[in-house]
Amino acid sequence: MTNAATFYVTHGGAVRGAVTMPGDKSVSHRSVLFGGIAEGITEVDNFLESEDCLATLGAMRAMGVRIARPSAGRVVVEGVGLHGLRAPTHALDMGNAGTAMRLSMGLLAGQAFDATLVGDPSLTRRPMERAATPLRQMGAVIATSAGRPPVTIRGGQALQGIEYTLEVASAQVKSAILIAGLYATGTTIVHEPAVTRDHTERMLRAFGVPVASAGGRIALSGGQPLKSTQLTVPGDISSSAFFIVAGLLAADGPFLIRNVGINPTRTGILDILALMGADIRILNRRLAGDEPVADLEVHRSALRGIDVPEHLVPLAIDEFPILFVAAALAKGTTRVTGAEELRVKESDRIAVMAEGLLQLGADATATPDGMIIHGGTLHGGQVTSHGDHRIAMAFAIAALRSSGDIAIGDVANVATSFPGFADLARGAGLSVQETR
């Protein structure tokens, strides 16, 4: 979706003080989805009120789940039980949210009614057969449009548990299978080729459903009820990544980022930056439900180029736009391989980031599964995010170390994952103006 919204970011400056992260998007999606099919009332604090998460909330409401929002970031879900959802009267609009669509495919595969999932033009370009294929093996009847949305799911199918090996490490596909497994006869088993984020497994356990996971094998038995619970959503490490890199590039003294989820399946960003020479200190470790949380103290650091270990790529897949910026401003060469998944995100993030970096004077070469970046300096200029929220925010952070101002076009979709980004960035010290 193209729009007239633009960020204008003045070059230079510093970040200082402390920022507090909004709730994690992945956990927020799952909180209302699982709360909706649980028995009893689930209370959620620090829910991310982004457009993506509100799409999941709206879909659950459309299927008969009563959800109240008594205050900012607080959601109360009156669960209807595993089999209590009702047929929606219209297509369920997932907006820009690939997570919402793929998880909903797993949920709807086991329902008694038909449903159709639609999305915005960006989501309509994203592949859905990775989730549809294993769900069909379970007995679901699913139709896509040339492999992409809209997605139609026929209700009333008897699902059977399967044992399935993911072709590509994907937490969304894994989650769709596990959610469908709740409605299947027997045991559903998923094998991962590499570790992916495990929010679904953790949250199912929080709702009282035993999930076995070891050595890349995840299993659950069908037919188990979910019991309501109380949840506090940790801060989103994907959103934190922009401020982590901002601190590494331009912190004036210790820069504190509060309330960051440090689930070990999500901390690839910290591991990669550590290899690049980052000084990031993890403080005040604690738990928010079953999710580990901490505060991060970031110090300005001289970053160096590295060959990013492929095993860390799935653990940082959403953070690569800002990692590419860090690499462009590091000393030496950074090579990323094994990241072909970036080509089927909200945009082709390999192509779009390479295009923008080149426009800002970086030495960056896109490859089929990653990028080669020879670090150096960036000048100012105009780039477009192609409607991709993470690319828009990454180039905003780049202005801290560019020699000229940066204008970033097509940024309205920042609200899909990080409403209030510009305000928080200004509070930390960036000079960001948004015009429409």
Alpha carbons 83 and 170: distance in angstroms, whole number = 27
Alpha carbons 283 and 310: distance in angstroms, whole number = 28
Taking each helix axis from N to C terminus, what angle separates 98-109 and 51-62, rounded to the nearest 10 degrees? 20
Q: Assign 207 to helix, strand or coil.
A: coil
Alpha carbons 120 and 97: distance in angstroms, whole number = 9
Rg, the chain, Cα only: 21
- Kindly report the backbone phi and psi dihedral angles of residue 174, in degrees, each rounded to the nearest multiple of 5, phi listed first: -55, -45
Is-catalytic flag, 93? no
Catalytic residue chosen out of the listed positions 318, 348, 363, 388: 318
Paired tokens of 331: 């000393």
Which residues make beta-bridge pairs with 92?
A: 117
Question: Could you identify the residue written with the tokens 């799935």?
Answer: 314
Residue in 136, 42, 153 with CA at minimum distance from that of residue 88: 153
Residue in 97, 104, 117, 101 with CA at minimum distance from that of residue 48: 97
Q: Cis peptide before 150, with omega less than 30 degrees from 0?
A: yes
Question: Could you identify the residue written with the tokens 């949250």?
Answer: 203
Put the strands of the sheet holding 217-221 in their side by side order: 163-165, 187-191, 217-221, 212-214
Q: Are 416 and 50 in contact (CB under 8 A)?
A: yes
List active site positions.
318
